[in-house]
Amino acid sequence: MQADYVIVGAGSAGCAMAYRLSEAGKSVLVIEHGGTDAGPLIQMPAALSYPMNMKTYDWGYMSAPEPGLGGRKLVCPRGKVIGGSSSINGMVYVRGHAGDYEHWAESGATGWNYADVLPYFKRMEHWHESGQGGDPEWRGKDGPLHVSRGPRDNPLHAAFVEAGRQAGYPVTDDYNGAQQEGFGPMDMTVYKGRRWSAANAYLKPALKRENCDLIKGLARKVVIENGRAVGVEIERGGQVQVVRANAEVILAASSINSPKLLMLSGIGPAAHLAEHGIDVVADRAGVGQNLQDHLEVYMQMACTQPITLYKYFNLFGKALVGAKWLFAKKGLGASNQFESAGFIRSRAGIKYPDIQYHFLPIAVRYDGQAPAEGHGFQAHVGPMRSPSRGAVTLTSSDPKEAPHIFFNYMSTEQDWEDFRACLRLTREIFAQDAIKPFVKHEIQPGEALQSDDELDSFIRQHAESAYHPCGTCKMGAVDDPTAVVDPECRVIGVDGLRVADSSIFPRITNGNLNGPSIMTGEKASDHILGRRLPASNAEPWFNPNWETAQR
């Protein structure tokens, strides 16, 4: 029950660190509360709506009532299984924009600008071009994380990208390459027809080494002696035990559970800890603060032709897709169906994209419910950089209690302006000649809703989380009172303790967070091992007319 490094959380970053630290000859123990990822519901890409709605694989967290969304509580799925949220997510792979990492560095996360993180994205990737172009010079060739593309053989994919071009936006062959801005194919973490989670990519190979092991248990708190983290208290089989760390304890338990564990261990806002009778080890005001997420709505169109995935949306169709996948790992089951994407700027003066599109050739909700309309398609759209900030706080000092999660969605006027722009710009794209022949009518929001007030009401009722929570253990300068970890991922005020997962993001990145979370684990490993990959001198593309034009 001891090792050089004890990692809490077998999620995206934790698995990457287990792999790299054990590869370097260090002994590693990974603590995970969830169980196995075996079985078709997790491994089959098209079944993605199932695991995120199952208590077996999900912590089952809910937000507090959100005033900006009419008091609705939103689900906040977090993976409780090996692979963490990479085992229950939508498998969309986005690095984030170069400008995101420039902002990180400017806000105190020195050494994390794009030139510094790009080599880690390349190290972790095994990029499969699928004969569809892409930007091979910008991509990794032999990393553990396989990244591929869907076949894009449904005509709606080409129509969506062409509609974006007709509306005046760029087309990009690889949004993870030099140019994110524009419309084009979407990347996914799928390999040989299977979900390529952090567990498949990193943890399972690491566990084959003698110096890496997995312990199933609930982490209760970090054990701190004389200002130094020396282990983790866990509960398993009704027994409380301590897993000792000879070198360091690393929290990689998610943007919800990492701050919770810090607070249970006495690291956080002193007054809040005192409310729960927890002795203060380090008074860090930023623990649990700075919570961010992406909100999105589904713009749904009824389709004039029976070409959408709706034709498989019945018992027989699903059985057919499932059987083909089970026996051959091929067919519709082998894709997450998010095969086309778009990244655009909402207005002139925005330096890089602040709106993302996921295009889907069926009209359906994340919980797997299809509308009564039948054949349709949809674009998930939402702003990328909301100014709203929420918090994760303790509801009790009992480690089994879920924390209080308040996103504070849509709490600024800017949020509303940005979201209205998303809806209106999307309508304009869906009105282009390339996609017009497929559009029967607008299911949602519906053509009748046009005014600011009508659109606001729709957003309030229908906006959903894209499930990208982050920011609650912000990385920054040591003298920043709101920072929780320094740029080496070390918890400020405690020795021998680091946090490395999406909670350390100073600001949310463009797009889906799985890629940046794995990169965080990769880069943190090198900080721990006292080494660094040389910075890249690649020049990312920014729209030359960004100051004066929206497109």
Consult the annotation and say whether 240 binds a ligand. no
Q: Domain 151-185+295-383+411-462 is of which CATH architecture?
A: 2-Layer Sandwich (3.30)
430 half-sphere exposure, CB direction, 13 A CA radius: 28
Residue 92 among known ligand-binding residues: yes
| Residue 90 marked as a ligand binder | yes
In a 3-state reduction of DSSP, which class is residue 171? strand
Under CATH, to which class is 1-150+187-287+471-538 assigned?
alpha beta
Q: What is the CA 230 to chain-centroid distance, rounded?
A: 30
Q: Are 521 and 161 in contact, with CB atoms under 8 Å apart?
A: no
The verdict on whether residue 190 carries a ligand-binding annotation is no
Chain centroid to CA 372: 30
Q: Is 176 annotated as a binding residue?
A: no
pLDDT of 368 reads 67
The predicted pLDDT at position 539 comes to 97
Please tell me the distance from the alpha carbon of residue 64 to that of residue 74, in angstroms, as a whole number: 8
Q: According to DSSP H, which parts of 265-345 are helical?
A: 270-275, 315-328
Q: What does the alpha-carbon distance between residue 257 and residue 262 come to, in Å, rounded to a whole number?
A: 9
375 given a catalytic annotation:
no
**Measured in whole angstroms, how far is the alpha carbon of residue 138 from the centre of its chain?**
21
Q: What is the pLDDT of residue 131?
A: 65
Residue 39's identity, in one-letter code, is: G
Spot the catalytic one: 103, 157, 358, 468. Answer: 468
| Per-residue pLDDT at 135 | 84
Beta bridge partners of 232: 222, 243
CA distance 439 to 173: 25
Secondary structure class of 12 (helix, strand, coil): helix
As averages over each run of 10 residues, the pLDDT of the chain (551 residues) reads 98 98 98 96 94 94 98 98 98 98 98 98 91 82 96 97 98 97 97 98 98 98 98 97 98 98 98 98 98 97 96 92 95 96 98 98 78 88 98 98 98 98 98 97 96 98 97 98 98 98 98 98 98 97 98 97
Every domain of the chain and the residues it spans: 1-150+187-287+471-538, 151-185+295-383+411-462
3-state secondary structure of 456: helix
What's residue 337's pLDDT? 95
Residue 167 has what DSSP assignment? T
The total of other beta-carbon atoms located within 10 Å of residue 528's CB is 23
